[in-house]
Amino acid sequence: MQKKHLFRDFARVWILVVVVLSAGCLTSGGGGAQQHQKVAVNGIRLYCGSGVRGPVSECLAVFREQTGIAVDVTFGPSGRMFKEACQQQGDVYLAGDIKYIQDAEKQGRVLTRCTICSVVPVLGVPRGNPKRILRIRDLCCPGVRFYLVDSARCQQGILGEQLLAAHSMQASTFAANRVANIPAGEKLSSLLTAGKLDAALIWAHGAQNMGEGIEILRLPELTEAACPVAAIILRGCGDRVAAERLLDYLSSDAASKVFRYHGFSDSAQNSYALERPDYEMFGEAGAVRFNRTAKARPVIYTRLAEYLVERFDLSARKGIGIEIGGGPGDLILDLAKSSRRFYWVNTDINTWYARPFAEDALKQGLAQNTGFVFADACALPFKDDYADLVFSRGSYQFWGSLEKGLREAYRVLKPGGWAFIGRGFPPSMPEDEVRILLDRGLAGGPKYDPDKDAVRFRSIINGLGVNKFEVIRHQPTDTSLNYGVWLCFQK
């Protein structure tokens, strides 16, 4: 019995020693477990497609600093990187071409798969979109020359051909319009700027630095064709725990911000995706009806253009202005007359406004400094820090989300740029002109409470963290006149 007790006591002491030593290993340095404690590991071998080099390099630098985990990364074409990862017993493989990820899964090489972000195809067109390309089908119109890389060279060409085929356009149909290879010594951006190409099907992340002479169109058909960028942990990985920590970081919110900055979309969804519009609401009949109304009250747009030019000193400045929900573009055209050094972009979700706007611009000699872009206010197809002025009159009540629309307006503004968004009459408009329009029923829009909208503006703009803003509720001498409500803020 005594021997049994001695054995039992010895076992208890041994278990206690093991637990203490294990705890000591977990909290080396004697400071206790820390949330961001760096750990020593052997390191990770990452093989990565060169198309995501920019954001991946930034993320790896932060990951190393936060975790102490070394990452030996090799960049190159996705196909070659996949081959090397398999031959050299790599730990992690990351590719913008999902085909190689699928091949790895078929071959049984994958331990874990994680979607990092998405690549979205877009159309690049010369500024002003002179061929008025608004849908994929427009690429097959007579006289249009568009670039789509050879499908034998990369996934982008394969995807482009699939998109065209999905819209009943076979290779034989668009072959006459297609340019598949860029001549030696030429740049795609230069060919577009010079008008030698009318459009190019490219990735959104590659379109960010193409120059101011090019506009980027995010069409619904293209947004729906976003392709995932994924990473996998390969079988035979030397340190699976460290590899999983890397994948966790690359799919984190912090990394998503980096990928978005470089023109990629979120992994879960395309946060700037253009939603397919309701064509019954935003159709030809609605465009014709509103165009007729707009032409009956030109004084509103003239006075608002005068107010904006004076308030933001636009007459002698050079820059880019965007109107959200500009419809037939009467306000844009008035602004273009007074500030010809600005380039003015009329955006609307209703493409039926494109033709009357283009016709009016040509008649008034303003086609060179104006353009029309198909856009959703909640998903503006412009890069960050793009515009000097974003404005809108009488459209925010139709936006899918006022908060998303204001967030997008803020996003596309350059630092120091201004937004002016609201409905009603400009504060400087004479009361007798306002009274005439109200008496004739030409004020437009359903009845609303401007004070409630002012409260919404303040609440949303404060939530976005904007410090410099003003909510304008002009109080005229004749208190029966409703001048509406305006939000003015600076980035």
pLDDT single digits (tens) 395-406 = 998 888 898 899
Supply the pLDDT for residue 96: 78
- Percentage of residues in the chain having pLDDT higher than 90: 41
Task: Specify the domain boundaries for CATH 3.40.190.10 within the chain.
Answer: 44-118+226-266, 121-223
Kindly report, residue by residue over 318-372, the tens digit of the pLDDT.
999 999 999 999 999 999 999 999 999 999 988 888 888 999 999 999 999 999 9
Where is average pLDDT lowest: 89-98, 221-230, 285-294?
285-294
CATH number (3.40.50.1820, 2.60.40.10, 3.30.70.890, 3.40.190.10) of 44-118+226-266 reads 3.40.190.10
Q: Where in the sequence of the chain do the CATH 3.40.50.150 domains occur? A: 284-490
User: What CATH number matches the domain at 121-223, 3.40.50.620, 3.40.190.10, 2.60.40.1120, 3.40.47.10?
Assistant: 3.40.190.10
Please state which of the four CATH numbers 3.40.50.150, 3.40.50.1000, 2.40.50.100, 2.40.30.10 is assigned to the domain occupying 284-490: 3.40.50.150
What distance in Å separates the CA atoms of residue 229 and residue 53, rounded to the nearest whole number?
Answer: 12
75-89, 147-161, 218-232, 266-280 — which one is most confidently predicted on average?
A: 75-89
Residues with Cβ within 8 Å of 169's Cβ and at least 6 positions away in sequence, in order, are: 136, 137, 139, 140
Give the pLDDT confidence score for residue 358 in this predicted structure. Answer: 92
pLDDT band for position 226 (cuts 50, 70, 90): confident
State the pLDDT confidence band at 41, using cuts at 50, 70 and 90.
very low
Rounded distance between C-alpha atoms, residue 321 and residue 306, angstroms: 15
Q: Give every CB contact of residue 161 below 8 A, 6+ residues apart in sequence.
A: 148, 151, 171
Q: Which residue has the higher pLDDT, 209 or 279?
A: 209
Task: State the pLDDT at residue 10.
Answer: 40
Is residue 42's pLDDT more than 80? no
Kindly report, residue by residue over 153-176, the tens digit of the pLDDT. 666 777 777 777 776 666 666 778
| Residue 458: per-residue pLDDT | 92
Q: 177-181, 341-345, 476-480: lowest mean pLDDT where? A: 177-181
Q: Which stretch, 10-24, 117-131, 326-340, has highest mean pLDDT?
A: 326-340
Q: Regarding predicted confidence, which is higher, 265 or 302?
A: 302
Distance CA 178, CA 395 (A): 38
Instruction: Please give the Cα distance from 336 to 364 (Å, whole number).
Output: 10
